[in-house]
Amino acid sequence: MIIAIDGPAASGKGTLGKRLSEHFGFAHLDTGLLYRAVARVMLDREIDLADRDAAHQVALNLDVTDLDDPRLRGAQMGEAASVISGYQPVRDALLAFQRQFAAQPPGAVLDGRDIGTVVCPDADVKLFITAASEERARRRHLELQKRGERIVFETILEDIRRRDERDMNRSSAPLKPAADAIILDTTHLDADAAFQAALDLVRAKSGRA
């Protein structure tokens, strides 16, 4: 069984993906980390993010076992990931790994921007998680503060809006709900309530307990 979760930046996709995967005993892949990892290599090697061919080469040679680096979760990496993720060859290079991951028994949860539309168009359940940008920025601000990153709220809000705009308007796999996705707005739901709502939707759609 495959659960596809998409949505804009900091909407809670990863949090829900993790909890749903634990509930059902499935594997979980935060696909944003793949793009962030490509961006990390580019930045570490001081390669211009506008260099599409270099980004493609990095994606083709990416070590997908190395996604635990805490630096990947930082704001700078999110912004850089959103630039290189617009390059179709980069997306193509990361596609086979994501599909292989999704196919593993007994099931997998993948979260990202194009899981329901491109990576797993036949997913059993597709959720599109959203929330008001101010609320998403508030949550991300809290998270970064806890991690010791000092960024003002307004900068995070701008970053989230710029990234959403770029992700929604690119020609390659733009961020949008799949036609058969269920939209869940978590603006007024805390993490537990959002999980319960998502779990109810997955149960109703898949027939699984």
Ligand X SMILES: Nc1ncnc2c1ncn2[C@@H]1O[C@H](COP(=O)(O)OP(=O)(O)OP(=O)(O)O)[C@@H](O)[C@H]1O
Would you tell me which residues interact with ligand X (CB under 6 A)?
7, 9-15, 32, 78, 139-140, 143, 186, 189-191, 194
Neighbours of 88 (CB within 10 A): 14
Nearer to ligand X, 32 or 107 (CB): 32
**Mutual angle of helices 88-102 and 32-44, in 10-degree steps:** 130
CB of 95 to ligand X, least distance (A): 18
| 35 interface partner picked from ligand X, ligand L45E5XJ5, none, CB below 5 to 8 A per type | ligand L45E5XJ5
Q: Which residues face 29 on adjacent strands?
A: 110
Q: What is the dihedral of CA 194, 183, 140, 94, to 10 degrees?
A: 120
Distance CA(9)–CA(138), nearest Å, equals 12
Binder among 19, 102, 114, 140 for ligand L45E5XJ5 (CB under 6 A): 114
Nearer to ligand L45E5XJ5, 15 or 82 (CB): 82
Nearer to ligand L45E5XJ5, 56 or 163 (CB): 163
Per-residue x/- mask for ligand L45E5XJ5, residues 73 to 112, rule CB under 6 A? -----x--xx--x--------------------------x
Closest CA to 95 of 78, 125, 120: 120
Which residues 6+ apart lie within 8 Å of 78 measured at CB? 9, 32, 36, 159, 163
Residues forming contacts to ligand L45E5XJ5 in the complex (CB under 6 A) are 9, 31-32, 35-36, 78, 81-82, 85, 112-114, 163, 167
